[in-house]
């Protein structure tokens, strides 16, 4: 019989996933309507990295598979604060939960979170095993994909054990309360105000900063894979993945900025500062934090000789112009905002797919 603690952790994770799905439902409808075929194509290529790694000689294949398995567990870092909330963790920590029980519960939650990845790998494997390209080694491809998934599951379990097994440091007052009680002095300068009111809150009490870092690294990695990737990876798939990550990075940064601005406007209502100028400065600094992604794409593209012709120039202009447009456009409604994000993704995908023609 399953232990009550394991059932509680799994039920808590299901509730968190259901909440997240409810928040993203309206966005997912637009994304699937606009990007349905490209997303289905990306699912077909989900198992391609471990299959390519497994085709290499064993001394090279094993490190590549380990690296891929660990990298695929990064989303669990972003979901950990939802499946193991800080207030629940503080309540669970004093309980006499054995380490073995904590490990089994975390493994069950990790299996719940990585289950969709396993189904995606299975569908991708079925497609590639049916096509049987010349480079494919079916037994090693299946074994490599299974090994990569098991490593992802193990890393996710370790991350959840750490998240649920350590006490969470809490403070008596929130950052917003402290800021309202002791507002920063205007003489400190705009950079100081931006750092205290916008940058530091990204890393205190939420995962917004970690999500933006993960998207930035993923966008740079996708850009390198698109420009310098193996011949077995279609250029169109690299263009789609890079375009989606670039727009999602700008959207995530913009969402965090707008959420923080709404709080700062309330707190700074009685401060002797120009809130509008502070908002403009915050938007400019947010754009600078996003800029490394298109800058890396531009540099990698120059090395690969990609920016020639009308399509190359247009894609580069769109990659640099999409983040400012998203940050300067009014929020409209949730559906309107996601329609704008989907339009930006479609425009980049359509232009990027013509880059190598």
- What pLDDT, on the 0 to 100 scale, is given for residue 108? 92
Report angle CA 74, 29, 218 to the nearest 5 degrees: 25
Number of domains in the chain: 2
Tell me the H-state helices in the chain.
Answer: 4-44, 48-54, 58-71, 74-83, 86-92, 99-131, 138-165, 175-181, 190-194, 208-228, 235-267, 275-290, 292-304, 309-328, 334-353
Which band of pLDDT confidence, cut at 50, 70 and 90, is reported for residue 107? very high
Do 131 and 210 lie in a common domain? no
- State how far the Cα of 88 lies from the Cα of 1, in Å rounded to an integer: 24
Do 349 and 239 lie in a common domain? yes
Least confident of 35-39, 86-90, 97-101, 208-212: 35-39
Do 162 and 214 lie in a common domain? no
In this structure, what token pair is assigned to residue 251? 């959207």
Report angle CA 158, 159, 164 to the nearest 5 degrees: 100
CB atoms within 10 A of CB 207: 17
Do 157 and 19 lie in a common domain? yes
- Specify burial of residue 87 (Cβ count, 10 A radius: 0-12, 13-18, 19+): exposed
CB atoms within 10 A of CB 40: 11
In this structure, what token pair is assigned to residue 322? 């999409």
Share of the chain above pLDDT 90, in %: 12
Do 345 and 291 lie in a common domain? yes
Given a cut of 50, whether residue 185 has pLDDT beyond it is: no
- What pLDDT, on the 0 to 100 scale, is given for residue 149? 94
Domain range for 158:
1-170
Do 198 and 338 lie in a common domain? yes
Given a cut of 80, whether residue 22 has pLDDT beyond it is: no
Do 117 and 215 lie in a common domain? no
- State how far the Cα of 67 lies from the Cα of 71, in Å rounded to an integer: 6
**pLDDT tens track for 208-262:** 788 888 889 989 988 888 888 776 677 788 888 888 889 888 888 888 888 888 8
Q: Is 265 left (phi over 0), alpha (psi -120 to 50) or beta?
A: alpha
């Amino acid at each position: 019989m399953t232990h009550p603690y394991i059932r509680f952790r799994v039920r808590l994770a299901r509730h968190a996933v259901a909440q997240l799905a409810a928040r993203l439902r309206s966005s997912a409808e637009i994304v699937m309507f606009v990007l349905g075929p490209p997303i289905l194509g990306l699912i077909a290529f989900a198992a391609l990295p471990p299959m390519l790694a497994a085709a290499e000689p064993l001394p090279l294949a094993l490190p590549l598979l380990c690296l891929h398995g660990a990298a695929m567990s990064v989303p669990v870092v972003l979901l950990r604060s939802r499946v193991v909330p800080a207030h629940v963790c503080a309540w669970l920590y004093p309980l006499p939960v054995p380490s073995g029980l904590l490990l089994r519960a975390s493994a069950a939650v990790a299996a719940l979170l990585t289950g969709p990845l396993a189904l995606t790998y299975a569908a991708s494997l079925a497609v590639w095993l049916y096509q049987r390209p010349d480079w494919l080694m079916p037994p090693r491809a299946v074994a490599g994909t299974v090994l990569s998934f098991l490593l992802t599951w193990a890393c996710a379990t370790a991350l959840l054990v750490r998240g649920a097994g350590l006490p969470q440091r809490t403070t008596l007052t929130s950052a917003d309360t402290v800021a309202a009680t002791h507002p920063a002095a205007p003489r400190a300068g705009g950079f100081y105000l931006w750092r205290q009111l916008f940058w530091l809150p990204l890393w205190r009490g939420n995962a917004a900063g970690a999500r933006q870092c993960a998207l930035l690294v993923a966008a740079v990695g996708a850009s390198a894979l698109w420009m310098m990737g193996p011949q077995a990876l279609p250029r169109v798939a690299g263009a789609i993945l890079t375009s989606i990550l670039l727009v999602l990075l700008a959207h995530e940064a913009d969402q965090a900025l707008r959420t923080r601005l709404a709080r700062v406007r309330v707190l700074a209502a009685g401060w002797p500062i120009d809130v509008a100028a502070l908002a403009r400065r915050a938007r400019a600094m947010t754009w600078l934090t996003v800029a490394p992604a298109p800058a890396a794409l531009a540099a990698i593209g120059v090395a690969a000789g990609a920016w020639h012709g009308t399509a190359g120039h247009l894609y580069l202009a769109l990659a640099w112009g999409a983040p400012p447009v998203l940050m300067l456009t009014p929020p409209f409604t949730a559906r309107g905002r996601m329609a704008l994000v989907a339009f930006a993704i479609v425009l980049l995908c359509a232009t990027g797919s013509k880059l190598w023609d």
